[in-house]
């Protein structure tokens, strides 16, 4: 294996390794001569003292962040206000936002004048140096501001915040245009420069084109000004974010990204090479790292770029594989005979990485201790400095200890450079550049104020954080000795990850979070594709008396076959279950729980087989399949935990003297669990696990279209220890199996998920039975709306609309059907929505790059086709996704969005990838909400707004089971977002919620007259 190939393997293998192992490797790699550590700390202390002295009383960014950073509550409010105010198109909503924030207590300035309202205006004033005048004014700035707002109202705040942001922009952005930035750079010749064109990640092809053009213009402009006399390493350069250059820069789209994005970057690099300026590929989220390295390798091997030493890469030290990435770059440099500039950063997305790993149930890709990130940085810096000749080390940091370490390692060498962010670290680097002869490059964002905020919020988040060096250096309460301590000495021995950041498996009390599959790992995706192909190749013959199950993605492919229950089977199954349930109910809750937990483990272990089955039988994409398998495991563990807590020991109740009272929960008998095809594994398993956990026996009837996933779940539950008679599966149609099952006289209850109409039929059947009245838990559909006002972030709205409306081909009960968007925001939102729909790949769910699979069967696609035909006559087509070639053999419906009038809202659930969009005027909000309320469904609701009052108003008007604010509205997590609706949407209690098991149980009290046994010793004892 070549040096590059083995380094690449290490990069992959170390992505999510155990943190203690990662830190052990770092410690081993870090070699420091005796005594050097102490000298580094001394130097760090000197540097930090100078920085702190310089920042006192100045208007530097450090001081600014100290006072107004995101770690203060008012800082958060203020950033939210500023961020939204800059882009809200209508002043009515802008003022509503201001009123909203004013109404919150945070805006009433405190006595010492530190309230956020004061801050809003004093931002601007402080930075222009006029704050003192205000503070000295009668009554202080606080009173002045309040008088001013009272007199002039919201427009004053609006203007103040706008001005403040503009001044902030001046601090953190080098210019609105590249020419302005170049002019600024020319005034500061002691620094080198790298320009970054601000912008969000591209969501549409048009966005990506626009950013590409910006980069080309910037290269031309920088090239034209980059004096030819400058040595190559000192020349100004450009930093590039790959996410800006492709709308689907995602691991699952690898082939497409390599085919489409790589040539664009090659084009940029050629232009940069011709202009003689260096380029750095910025580091973004961890799940994009491998893809970015693959593109980087292409660039490094590109014949047209041979001999160009301007091709650079940013590496994040907080990633567990950082050191491996450094080794890989060095190997690549050697293999391609070039010197690669490597910008070492600590990383800007730490909180995002932590959250994502928890959501996906994956080990963290980043370290969880700040000191560990620092140590990683030191080890990587040392490796890069050691690789001189192959690597040009660019050490980006504002941390004095980190700088002191680099200086100590480098000794007399000056063949490296430091880097800092524009508007930060000046106090540190001005001295260093002058006194120690080191070079420093400024990372200088360029862009309009509108584009600034995403960047700014990241900076503030990172640098306003209590752990951050720049934050602490400005805080006189933090002793500098602590701030400049040796990070190696701060690591615990033996090493353990931070307690503040629990492992992703342990974030929920009482149960484990289900393990995920890393769909950012190309090897996992390849394995899943191979698995589906292999499963398809195993031809399953259909025997006499069996019914074939075919793939919705290709009706010619048989997934398997089942034997439908015969007429007498229903009765036999219920009777057998009935005679088995008492023994099951009599088992301690703990035992039942342990069996369910074993089943959860088994489901997790079978994840790849189950994802393949779901892709084939139900048309689920890999991402959908993984989350469904995880949900099934979560249900088992959650109900196990609830059963232990509530069924394990009786609840003691209050009692008068001489009496004991307790309440016990127990199983009811035999439950019928009737589940749908749209979550053939998780809903099926959830119902069954709940009934079993509560001490019931179960006769389960899965949807006719998806019996195999149900059979797989039953097999795993049986293997885990659920007796065969206690859990029985009956495949068949609703008429032949479901109807007689629901009528059976020995049933103790029914759990049903499906259409409202079927639920009603079951309810009638139950009502017509003689004997005890039994519980009926029904989860039915919804006509779910999302409402976005003009304070919402269009990019976020569109991403959440795409996921909510089209994931699982829109076949989720929670899926978005009606998007209400405020008219002022509509043009931008709908343009982006159309572009994002164009980017969807609709095709075989057995392929890793498919976003949307088929709908379940021909009946479903025909019904959707009729609805779409109707919309074509009444609505305006916004966009329709293209269908991939392979879609011809399956039941596919291309995701589509229509704009319709409010009066044309559908009356019934449209179960597929069809989105209805309605524009509303702010003054007509009530009418729009009324139209949604009149559908009488109440399952899920999405709200996108920065205005809390707006969220409250919508929530008060619409009675809905699950509301999601500023996020997508699907994917409820067991125990975290208990799921279920009201009105036409279901009976409750919520699945995956704390009250669910109660509906499957009987309650019994036991009262004992303890006095009858010989008095009340407790009472008598109290006499003393
Ligand atoms: C020139 C330049 C270019 C940059 N380009 C990029 C880029 O391409 N991609 C990118 O991601 N960032 C980039 N950054 C941002 C960079 O990541 C931050 O500025 C940097 O992390 C700050 O490091 P520091 O040494 O100045 O601060 P310090 O305060 O010493 O370190 C802050 C770091 O510690 C991490 N941290 C905080 N708490 C923990 C914890 N509990 N466990 C583990 N780690 C923790 C933070 O995430 C952050 O990375 C760039 C910065 C500069 C100066």
**pLDDT tens digits for range 25-79:** 999 999 888 789 999 999 999 999 999 988 554 434 555 555 555 455 555 566 6
| Catalytic residue, candidates 302, 813, 824, 899 | 813
Ligand 1 probe mutation, 345, 416, 421, 432, most atoms within 8 A of CB: 345
- Global pTM reads 0.93
> String of b and e for 958-974 (b: at least 16 CB within 10 Å)?
bebbbebebebbbbbbb
Q: Measuring from each residue's beta carbon to the nearest atom of ligand 1, which residues come in under 6 Å?
A: 282-283, 314, 316, 318, 343, 345-350, 367-370, 372-373, 396-399, 402, 419-421, 443, 462, 467-469, 498
Please name the residue whose Cα sits nearest to atom 20 of ligand 1: 346
Please name the residue whose Cα sits nearest to atom 33 of ligand 1: 346
Enumerate residues 6+ apart whose C-beta is below 8 A from 3.
331, 334, 335
The DSSP bridge pattern shows strands 982-983 and 937-938 to be antiparallel
Our answer to whether residue 80 is catalytic in this structure is: no
Q: Tokens 């549409």, residue? A: 204
**647 and 1000 in contact (C-beta within 8 Å)?**
no
pLDDT value at residue 359? 96
pLDDT band of 460, cuts 50, 70, 90: low
Closest Cα to residue 616, out of 852, 912, 845, 809?
Answer: 845
Please name the residue whose Cα sits nearest to atom 38 of ligand 1: 370
Distance 59 CA to ligand 1 centre (A): 23
Mean pLDDT (the chain) is 90
Distance CA 365, CA 17 (A): 8
pLDDT band of 100, cuts 50, 70, 90: confident
Please name the residue whose Cα sits nearest to atom 35 of ligand 1: 370
Instruction: Report the atom number in ligand 1 closest to the C-alpha of 314.
Output: 8
Distance CA 445, CA 404 (A): 26
Our answer to whether residue 779 is catalytic in this structure is: yes
Three-state DSSP string of 365-378: CECCCHHHHHHHHH
Please name the residue whose Cα sits nearest to atom 21 of ligand 1: 346
Distances (CA, A) of 852 to 715, 839, 894: 29, 11, 8
Is the sign of the CA dihedral 249, 254, 257, 258 positive or negative?
positive
Q: Which two tokens stand for residue 49?
A: 């003292």
Quick check: helix, strand or coil at residue 985?
A: coil
**20 and 496 in contact (C-beta within 8 Å)?**
yes
The more confident residue out of 102 and 561 is 561
Predicted confidence (pLDDT) at residue 650 exceeds the cutoff of 80: yes
Distance 348 CA to ligand 1 centre (A): 5
Q: How many CB atoms lie within 10 A of CB 50?
A: 17
Distance 420 CA to ligand 1 centre (A): 11
Distance 456 CA to ligand 1 centre (A): 14
Instruction: Report the atom number in ligand 1 closest to the C-alpha of 347.
Output: 17
Instruction: Report the atom number in ligand 1 closest to the C-alpha of 471.
Output: 29
Distance CA 914, CA 831 (A): 17
DSSP annotation string for 389-404: TTEEEEEE---HHHHH
Closest Cα to residue 674, out of 763, 571, 761, 752?
Answer: 752
Distance CA 619, CA 612 (A): 10
Distance CA 768, CA 232 (A): 87
Distance 393 CA to ligand 1 centre (A): 16
Distance CA 351, CA 285 (A): 11
Average pLDDT of the residues in 100-119: 46
Q: Which range among 25-34, 70-79, 203-212, 256-265 shows the weakest confidence by mean pLDDT?
A: 70-79
Please name the residue whose Cα sits nearest to atom 4 of ligand 1: 345
Predicted confidence (pLDDT) at residue 108 exceeds the cutoff of 50: no
Classify residue 15 by its DSSP letter.
T
Closest Cα to residue 711, out of 890, 558, 564?
Answer: 564
Distance 627 CA to ligand 1 centre (A): 31
- Interior angle at CA 882, CA 878 and CA 884, nearest 5: 165
Instruction: Report the atom number in ligand 1 closest to the C-alpha of 317.
Output: 49
Q: What percent of the chain has pLDDT over 90?
A: 79
Distance CA 864, CA 880 (A): 14
Backbone angles phi and psi of 896, in degrees to 5: -145, 150
pLDDT band of 383, cuts 50, 70, 90: very high
Distance 350 CA to ligand 1 centre (A): 8
In the chain, count H helices and then E strands. 38, 27
Distances (CA, A) of 104 to 75, 101, 109, 154: 14, 5, 11, 14
**208 and 260 in contact (C-beta within 8 Å)?**
no
pLDDT value at residue 1022? 55
Closest Cα to residue 484, out of 50, 112, 184, 908?
Answer: 50
Classify residue 20 by its DSSP letter.
H
Predicted confidence (pLDDT) at residue 397 exceeds the cutoff of 90: yes
Distance CA 653, CA 633 (A): 34
Instruction: Report the atom number in ligand 1 closest to the C-alpha of 441.
Output: 1
Enumerate residues 6+ apart whose C-beta is below 8 A from 168.
82, 123, 127, 452, 456
CA dihedral 127, 128, 133, 136 (to 10 degrees): 0
Q: What percent of the chain has pLDDT over 70?
A: 88
| Catalytic residue, candidates 176, 604, 617, 779 | 779
pLDDT value at residue 124? 44
Distance CA 474, CA 61 (A): 10
Distance CA 831, CA 838 (A): 11
Distance CA 847, CA 797 (A): 27
- Give helix 36-55 / helix 400-410 axis angle, nearest 10°: 130
Quick one: 538 exposed, middle or buried, by C-beta within 10 A (0-12, 13-18, 19+)? exposed
Distance 375 CA to ligand 1 centre (A): 13
Instruction: Report the atom number in ligand 1 closest to the C-alpha of 377.
Output: 25
Instruction: Report the atom number in ligand 1 closest to the C-alpha of 463.
Output: 29
pLDDT band of 121, cuts 50, 70, 90: very low
Closest Cα to residue 239, out of 459, 425, 442, 433?
Answer: 442
Distance 460 CA to ligand 1 centre (A): 12
Q: Kindly report, residue by residue over 781-813, the tens digit of the pLDDT.
A: 999 999 999 999 899 999 999 999 999 999 999
Q: Kindly report, residue by residue over 851-887, the tens digit of the pLDDT.
A: 999 999 999 999 999 999 999 999 999 999 999 999 9
Ligand 1 probe mutation, 347, 357, 378, most atoms within 8 A of CB: 347
Distances (CA, A) of 298 to 259, 269, 275, 311, 736: 11, 11, 20, 11, 60
The DSSP bridge pattern shows strands 896-899 and 876-880 to be antiparallel
**277 and 226 in contact (C-beta within 8 Å)?**
yes
Predicted confidence (pLDDT) at residue 647 exceeds the cutoff of 50: yes
Quick check: helix, strand or coil at residue 959?
A: coil
Distance CA 941, CA 949 (A): 16
Instruction: Report the atom number in ligand 1 closest to the C-alpha of 374.
Output: 30
Instruction: Report the atom number in ligand 1 closest to the C-alpha of 368.
Output: 42
Q: Which range among 143-157, 491-505, 573-587, 871-885 shows the weakest confidence by mean pLDDT?
A: 143-157
**205 and 212 in contact (C-beta within 8 Å)?**
no
**641 and 666 in contact (C-beta within 8 Å)?**
no
Ligand 1 probe mutation, 284, 315, 365, 373, most atoms within 8 A of CB: 373
Distances (CA, A) of 92 to 104, 449, 822: 19, 21, 12
pLDDT value at residue 393? 98
Distance 462 CA to ligand 1 centre (A): 7
H/E stretch holding 465 reads none
Distance 587 CA to ligand 1 centre (A): 54
Ligand 1 probe mutation, 283, 357, 396, 421, most atoms within 8 A of CB: 396
Q: Which two tokens stand for residue 492?
A: 């615990």
Please name the residue whose Cα sits nearest to atom 50 of ligand 1: 345
pLDDT value at residue 1023? 53
Q: Kindly report, residue by residue over 301-337, the tens digit of the pLDDT.
A: 999 999 899 999 999 999 999 999 999 999 999 999 9
Q: Kindly report, residue by residue over 1001-1019, the tens digit of the pLDDT.
A: 999 999 999 887 666 767 6
Beta strands in 178-244 (DSSP E): 192-197, 237-240
Distance 361 CA to ligand 1 centre (A): 24
**422 and 443 in contact (C-beta within 8 Å)?**
yes
Distance 295 CA to ligand 1 centre (A): 23
Instruction: Report the atom number in ligand 1 closest to the C-alpha of 498.
Output: 41
pLDDT band of 128, cuts 50, 70, 90: very low
Q: How many CB atoms lie within 10 A of CB 793?
A: 22
Distance CA 165, CA 40 (A): 38
Please name the residue whose Cα sits nearest to atom 25 of ligand 1: 397
- Give helix 589-605 / helix 682-693 axis angle, nearest 10°: 160
Distance CA 420, CA 424 (A): 7
């Amino acid at each position: 294996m070549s040096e590059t190939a083995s380094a690449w393997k290490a990069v992959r293998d170390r992505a999510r390794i155990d943190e203690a192992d990662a830190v052990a490797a770092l410690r081993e790699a870090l070699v420091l001569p005796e005594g050097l550590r102490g000298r580094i700390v001394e130097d760090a202390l000197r540097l930090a003292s100078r920085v702190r002295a310089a920042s006192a009383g100045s208007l530097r960014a450090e001081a600014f962040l100290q006072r107004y950073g995101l770690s203060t509550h008012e800082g958060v409010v203020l950033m939210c206000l500023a961020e939204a105010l800059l882009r809200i198109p209508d002043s009515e909503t802008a003022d509503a936002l201001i009123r909203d924030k004013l109404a919150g207590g945070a805006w009433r300035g405190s006595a010492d004048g530190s309230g956020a309202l004061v801050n809003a205006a004093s931002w601007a004033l402080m930075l222009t140096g006029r704050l003192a005048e205000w503070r000295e004014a009668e009554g202080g700035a606080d009173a002045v501001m309040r008088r001013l707002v009272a007199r002039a109202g919201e427009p004053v705040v609006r203007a103040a915040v706008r001005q403040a942001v503009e001044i902030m922009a001046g601090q953190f952005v080098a210019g609105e245009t590249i020419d302005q930035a170049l002019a600024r750079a020319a005034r500061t010749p002691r620094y080198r420069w790298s320009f970054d064109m601000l912008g969000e990640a591209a969501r549409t092809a048009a966005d990506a084109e626009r950013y590409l053009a910006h980069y080309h213009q910037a290269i031309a402009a920088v090239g034209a000004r980059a004096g030819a006399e400058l040595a190559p390493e000192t020349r100004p350069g450009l930093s590039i974010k790959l996410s800006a250059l492709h709308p689907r820069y995602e691991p699952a789209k690898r082939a497409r990204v390599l085919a489409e994005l790589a040539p664009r970057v090659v084009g940029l690099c050629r232009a940069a090479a011709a202009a003689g300026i260096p380029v750095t590929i910025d580091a973004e989220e961890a799940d994009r790292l491998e893809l970015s390295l693959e593109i980087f390798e292409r660039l490094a091997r590109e014949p047209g770029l041979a001999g160009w030493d301007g091709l650079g890469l940013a590496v994040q030290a907080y990633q567990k594989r950082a050191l491996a990435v450094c080794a890989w770059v060095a190997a690549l440099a050697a293999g391609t005979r070039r010197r690669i500039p490597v910008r070492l950063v600590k990383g800007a997305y730490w909180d995002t990485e932590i959250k994502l790993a928890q959501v996906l149930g994956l080990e963290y890709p980043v370290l969880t201790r700040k000191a560990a990130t620092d140590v990683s940085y030191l080890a990587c810096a040392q490796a890069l400095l050691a690789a001189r000749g192959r690597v040009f080390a660019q050490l980006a940091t504002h941390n004095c200890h980190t700088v002191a370490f680099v200086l100590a390692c480098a000794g007399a060498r000056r063949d490296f450079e430091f880097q800092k962010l524009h508007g930060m670290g000046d106090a540190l680097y001005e001295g260093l550049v002058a006194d120690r002869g080191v070079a420093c490059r400024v990372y200088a964002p360029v862009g309009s104020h509108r584009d600034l905020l995403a960047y700014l919020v990241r900076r503030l988040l990172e640098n306003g954080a209590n752990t951050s060096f720049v934050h602490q250096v400005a805080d006189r309460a933090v002793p500098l000795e602590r701030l400049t301590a040796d990070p190696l000495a701060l690591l615990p021995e033996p090493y353990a990850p931070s307690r503040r950041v629990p492992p992703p498996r342990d974030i929920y009390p009482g149960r484990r979070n289900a393990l995920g599959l890393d769909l950012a790992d190309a090897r996992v995706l390849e394995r899943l594709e191979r698995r589906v192909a292999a499963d398809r190749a195993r031809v399953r013959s259909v025997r006499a008396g069996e019914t074939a199950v075919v793939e919705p993605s290709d009706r010619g492919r048989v997934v398997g076959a089942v034997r439908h229950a015969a007429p007498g089977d229903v009765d036999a199954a219920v009777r057998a279950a009935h005679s088995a349930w008492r023994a099951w109910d009599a088992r301690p809750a703990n035992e039942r729980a342990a069996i369910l937990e074993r089943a959860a483990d088994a489901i997790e272990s079978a994840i790849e087989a189950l994802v393949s089955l779901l892709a084939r039988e139900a048309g689920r994409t890999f991402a959908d399949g993984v989350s469904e398998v995880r949900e099934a495991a979560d249900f088992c563990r959650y109900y196990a935990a609830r059963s232990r807590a509530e069924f394990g020991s009786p609840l003691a109740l209050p009692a008068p003297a001489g009496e004991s009272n307790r309440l016990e929960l127990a199983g009811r008998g035999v439950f019928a669990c009737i589940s749908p095809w749209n979550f053939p594994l998780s809903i099926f398993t959830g119902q069954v696990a709940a009934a079993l956990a509560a001490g019931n026996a179960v006769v389960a009837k899965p949807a006719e279209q998806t019996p195999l996933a149900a059979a797989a779940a039953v097999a795993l539950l049986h293997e885990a220890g659920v007796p065969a008679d206690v859990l029985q599966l009956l495949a068949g149609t609703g008429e032949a199996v479901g109807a007689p099952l629901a009528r059976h006289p020995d049933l103790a209850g029914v759990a049903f998920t499906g259409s409202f109409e079927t639920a009603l039929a079951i309810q009638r059947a139950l009502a017509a039975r003689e004997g005890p009245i039994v519980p009926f838990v029904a989860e039915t559909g919804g006509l779910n709306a999302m409402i976005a006002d003009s304070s919402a972030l269009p990019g976020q709205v569109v991403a959440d609309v795409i996921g909510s409306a089209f994931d699982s081909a829109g076949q989720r009960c929670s899926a978005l059907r009606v998007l209400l968007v405020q008219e002022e925001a509509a043009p931008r939102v709908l343009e982006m929505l159309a572009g994002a729909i164009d980017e969807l790949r609709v095709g075989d769910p057995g392929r890793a790059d498919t976003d949307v699979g088929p709908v379940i069967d021909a009946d479903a696609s025909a019904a959707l086709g009729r609805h779409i035909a109707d919309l074509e006559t009444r609505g305006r087509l916004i966009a329709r996704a293209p269908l991939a070639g392979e879609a011809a053999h399956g039941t596919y419906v291309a995701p589509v969005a229509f704009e319709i009038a409010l009066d044309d809202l559908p009356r019934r659930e449209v179960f597929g990838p069809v989105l209805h969009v309605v524009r509303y005027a702010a003054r007509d909000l009530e009418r729009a909400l009324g139209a949604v309320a009149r559908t009488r469904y109440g399952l899920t609701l999405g709200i996108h707004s920065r205005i809390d009052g707006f969220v409250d108003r919508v929530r008060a008007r619409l009675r809905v089971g699950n509301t999601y604010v500023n996020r997508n509205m699907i994917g409820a997590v067991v125990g975290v977002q208990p799921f279920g609706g009201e009105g036409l949407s279901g009976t409750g209690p919520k699945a995956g919620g704390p009250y669910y098991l109660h509906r499957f149980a009987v309650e019994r009290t036991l009262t004992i007259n303890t006095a009858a046994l010989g008095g009340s010793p407790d009472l008598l004892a109290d006499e003393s």
